[in-house]
Amino acid sequence: MTREQVLDLYFLDARGKLIEIAAFLDRVERATGKEDFRAKAFRKAVRELGGKKPQRAEKVLRVLSDPTTKPIPAATTKAACGAWPRPT
């Protein structure tokens, strides 16, 4: 596909999602209380979108991933939350 064809097919959809992200970040900022590791991870992932570097989707996924390599001692929940709570 040409770049123009890709834009014809996906620009409006991506534009809508981009505005949703902007509005989400505004919403988090307007809210009260402390933000947690998810917001920090999100902002770090957003930075991967800038510039002309390729493989942005892969980089965003990696930023949001647990980078450790050993199994955890026990599963205390079944759910995933979408970002890794980096130990402080």
Partner 1 sequence: MKYIEPHAHMVSRVTDDYQRMALAGCEAICEPAFWAGFDRSSPAGFYDYFCQLTEHEPKRAAKFGIAHFSWLCINPKEAEDVEFAKDVIALIPQFINRSNVLGIGEIGLNKNSRNEMKVLEMHVDLAARYNQLILVHTPHLEDKLKGTRLILDVMKSDKRIKPERVIIDHVEEHTVKLVLDRGHWAGMTLYPETKCTPARAIDILDTYGHERLWMNSACDWGISDPLAVPKTALEMKRRGHRAAAIERVIFHNPRKFLAQSPKFKLPAA
Q: How far is CA 80 from CA 33, 65, 66, 88, in A?
A: 23, 11, 11, 19
C-alpha–C-alpha distance, residues 6 and 28, integer Å: 32
Examine residue 47 and tell whether it contacts partner 1 (CB under 8 A).
no
Segment contacting partner 1 (CB under 8 A): 18-26, 27-35, 43-51, 66-74? 66-74
Segment 8 to 37, residues that bind partner 1, using CB under 8 A: 9-10
Q: Is 45 in the site for partner 1 (CB under 8 A)?
A: no
- Judged by CB under 8 A, the residue of 30, 75, 87, 88 near partner 1 is 75
